[in-house]
Structure 1
Amino acid sequence: GTKSEAAFAADADAAIVYARVGEAPGGITAFLVPQDRPGVVRRIAPVDLGERWQRRGTVEYRAVRVPVGYRLGEEGAGFAYVRPELTRERALLAAIYLGVARASWDETVAHVGTRSAFGRPLSDQEAVAFPLVEDGVRLEAAALYVVRTLERLGRGEDAEGDAALAKWFSTDVALTALDHAVQFHGGRGYSSELPHERRWRDVRSGAIAHGPAEVMHLVAARRL
């Protein structure tokens, strides 16, 4: 089989692979596969828009054989293992995206308070001030939702739907705030001189990776 856009494909010594065992029914099984095994072919992807430090790529497994001792858990139980991990991962990613966006929001609020245009500080102009006010409220609302989701996970509750919504909502809120950060810093915001454009590029992957926004809606809808 082949996995495209695999994170750390260029550098990983091993990968956890989920696959079916022969034609047996009953779901997928998890295996730890060293990436130097015969039959493992790695192709490094072109430079991504964001999260370039992950050095993604395509990994192809051509009749790769691993000892039975490399199986993780019981046969056919792979999805049962990965599902709760995905839930925790989505909630934590939501917190990361919000933290990144909040940093840019704070820096942008400070910037518009000292930068003037047409004889007035940018912070006194509605076209700038109102979007920043809305961003601040949305960032706070998303953070409260993420905290509630993490608290539920900490209590051992089923928070799969909440984690999906937290990831979608936080990504959407963060991208809007980061876009405004780029915009309100003008030309410097668009350049690598400031961190906002990179933060936007990195967070943009959140609408695709670890479950795209459309799938997050489906996951949440099933938990209604």
Structure 2
Amino acid sequence: MSASPVLLDMVPAPSLVGKQLRAKRTWVQYIRQLGDKLTTYVPLVLMAVLAGMTFWLLRLSPVPDEAQAARATPTVPDNYLVNFVARSFDVNGELTAQVAGAAAQHMPQTGELHIQTARITAWGKQGALTRSRSDDAVVNKAQTQFELTGNVVANRTQANSPDFQITSEQLFIDTDLNLMSSQLPVRVLRGVDEIKAQRMVVDNNTGVAQFNDGVEAVVQARE
């Protein structure tokens, strides 16, 4: 006897079909809801990003006053001097400083004078007179601060005080504070005494000099 063919019912059960349809509708609804949310929030996100970029650009951009000030005070020299002599006077008409040099540039941004082959004479308090020379110098607008660099030699005289000479590669003189200082090695001759140090600060108001690092002194005996 031949075996009868077995026919399988390939039609899914009604319950399974219903579940598949409901799952399909659920995914479609989820995608639609996601699309609706993206449509709603994407413009807001883009607006926030654009607002942030605008704020960042505004912070980087100078305000009008700063821009005008930058244009009004360029960083390049506005005046050049050759073989010049400049003098400064106080409110009483007394001569306080004389600056001479082979060449100079005036910087409008700071009011400083940058000098080559400088020769500076400063009249300080209590009749002090300081004459100095250097390869280069920077003088502030008020001609009260002098930054000397390169082969610096400064001679100072004052009544009732021994004369002294300073040689160094750098010297800062402040006639308002009556101070002299150097952050580079110095050699000081004060009368017959000689002092060498790596750094120095001299307060001419009190007559006290402070020497630091590698100090060497040759002091002559006093009678």
TM-score (norm 2): 0.20
Higher strand share: 2
Higher helix share: 1
Of structures 1 and 2, the one scoring higher in RCO (CA 8 A, sep 6+) is: 1
Structure having the higher Rg: 2
TM-score (norm 1): 0.20
